[in-house]
Amino acid sequence: MTELTPIGLLAELTHRCPLGCPYCSNPLELTRANQELDTKTWTRVFEDAASLGAMHVHLSGGEPLVRKDIAELTNAAHLAGLYTNLITSGVGLNAQSLTELRAAGLDHVQISIQGVDPTRADAIAHFKGGAKAKREAARVVVEEGLALTINAVIHRGNIKDLPAIIDLAVEWGAGRLEVAHVQYHGWAIANRASLMPAREDFLTAAKLVEDARKSLEGTLVIDHVIPDYYAERPKACMGGWGRQVIVVTPDGRALPCHAAATLPGFAFDNVKDRSLAEIWETSEAFQKFRGTAWMPKPCQGCDRAEIDWGGCRCQAFAITGNAATTDPACALSPEHTKLREMATADAASGISTYRFRRIGG
């Protein structure tokens, strides 16, 4: 049992997506359409999440708009009392679909962009016409008076465009900009050599964000998701394992973090078999790294143990082969130097071809 209350539900409604971003956080093995949960099951999941105390639902994917029942799902989440946040590429969002979603109770839209120059942006997303569709989607969101967040995933190919990206967010009327450096999970690991920026470029970007936050105060809120490979201390991944967020995958597995499915030796419970409350409170997976008891040194006894919770389990596993060890993003981890060296080598690799995300890829 746990006294903890989740804040948010990340509902990965589908893995289908017309785009092919090489940094997509979805797993390499994507779930096919016929495995997806149906409307009824998602409705129950939303209700369960709300009774557990969750306040936000992030309707995500893949591209959530490919679900034919997206308006119905939005409405179900809204009726359950959740703050509904649509996380979309913008492709498929037009005046008509937005009006429908708004009537269903949509509270907020987050549109991801690949850059400012349409041709280059489309090349990264591996989708022609994407940039144009996004521009149009952002316009209708603002016209409808809905709140807009722009999410820009930053990597070596666009890090120097950050000033233009910030300008674009203001010009498009966004209230919030997420400057999200690539997190190396899923497809991003496969593309790390082509995505990793140089450390100096990251430092310049960090300074730019800091300055823009000041000059745009009251106009644009900027959230900065920094790249772990250049950090000194890790992030509290998802606010700590099993503390704030529940991820439900398209086929119904409940995970403490969206990359957790990559960890070996876990049986993740499925919402088709057990209630969300039961999973949150008693499932082995949610309890495994919850709190501080599992921690090895140097986390054990560290004064940041209850701040960053030892960082990301999936990153620890990806780099060291052991999920139950300190996140190598932490400078106190014995593997930290190795991580830095990997990043430096990747940044200098000169590789500029991508393995684009696709089902069956």
Partner 1 sequence: MTDPAPKLAPGVKLRKDAKRGTVLLGPERILELDDIAQAIVAEFDGKRRVSEIAAALAKEYDANADDIRTDIENLLKDLTQKGYVKP
Q: Which of 47, 69, 107, 278 binds partner 1 (CB under 8 A)?
A: 107
157 lines the binding site for ligand SF4 (CB under 6 A): no
308 lines the binding site for ligand SF4 (CB under 6 A): yes
CB atoms within 10 A of CB 47: 17
Q: Burial level of 8, CB count in 10 A (0-12/13-18/19+)?
A: buried
- Closer to ligand SF4 by CB, 88 or 283: give it: 88
Across the beta sheet with 83-88, what order do the strands follow?
221-225, 176-181, 147-154, 108-113, 83-88, 56-60, 8-12, 245-248, 254-255
**Site residues (CB under 8 A) for partner 1, limited to 6-65:** 7-8, 53, 55-56
24 lines the binding site for ligand SF4 (CB under 6 A): yes
CB of 297 to ligand SF4, least distance (A): 8
- Closer to partner 1 by CB, 43 or 110: give it: 110
21 lines the binding site for ligand SF4 (CB under 6 A): yes
Place of tokens 């082509």: 194
Q: What is the 3-state secondary structure (H, E, C) of the chain?
A: CCCCCCCEEEEECCCCCCCCCCCCCCCCCCCCHHHCCCHHHHHHHHHHHHHHCCCEEEEECCCHHHCCCHHHHHHHHHHCCCEEEEEECCCCCCHHHHHHHHHHCCCEEEEEECCCCHHHHHHHHCCCCHHHHHHHHHHHHHHCCCEEEEEEEECCCCHHHHHHHHHHHHHCCCCEEEEEECCCCCHHHHCHHHHCCCHHHHHHHHHHHHHHHHHCCCCCEEEEECCHHHCCCCCCHHHCCCCCEEEECCCCEEECCCCHHHCCCCCCCECCCCCHHHHHHHCHHHHHCCCCCCCCCCCCCCCCHHHHCCCCHHHHHHHHCCCCCCCCCCCCCCCHHHHHHHHHHHHCCCCCCCCCCCCCC
- Closer to ligand SF4 by CB, 80 or 247: give it: 247
**Partner from ligand SF4, partner 1, none binding residue 90, C-beta < 5-8 Å depending on class:** none
Q: State the maximum Cα–Cα separation within the chain, in Å, rounded to a whole number.
A: 55
- Closer to partner 1 by CB, 86 or 330: give it: 86
**Site residues (CB under 8 A) for partner 1, limited to 200-219:** 217-218
100 lines the binding site for partner 1 (CB under 8 A): no
CB atoms within 10 A of CB 115: 24
276 lines the binding site for ligand SF4 (CB under 6 A): no
**Partner from partner 1, ligand SF4, none binding residue 221, C-beta < 5-8 Å depending on class:** partner 1
CB of 45 to ligand SF4, least distance (A): 20
> How many residues lie near ligand SF4 (CB under 6 A)?
26
- Closer to ligand SF4 by CB, 19 or 50: give it: 19
**Site residues (CB under 8 A) for partner 1, limited to 220-259:** 221, 223
- The Cα 264–Cα 241 span in angstroms is 16
Binding mask 52-91 for ligand SF4 (x = CB under 6 A): ---------xxx-------------------------x--
**Partner from partner 1, ligand SF4, none binding residue 274, C-beta < 5-8 Å depending on class:** none
156 lines the binding site for partner 1 (CB under 8 A): no
CB of 217 to ligand SF4, least distance (A): 29
332 lines the binding site for ligand SF4 (CB under 6 A): yes
**Partner from ligand SF4, partner 1, none binding residue 161, C-beta < 5-8 Å depending on class:** none
> How many residues lie near partner 1 (CB under 8 A)?
22
Instruction: Give contact residues for partner 1 (rule: CB under 8 A).
Output: 5, 7-8, 53, 55-56, 83, 85, 107-108, 110, 145-149, 175-176, 217-218, 221, 223
Instruction: Give contact residues for ligand SF4 (rule: CB under 6 A).
Output: 17, 19-21, 24, 26, 61-63, 89, 112, 233-234, 298-299, 302, 304-305, 308, 310-311, 326-327, 330, 332, 357
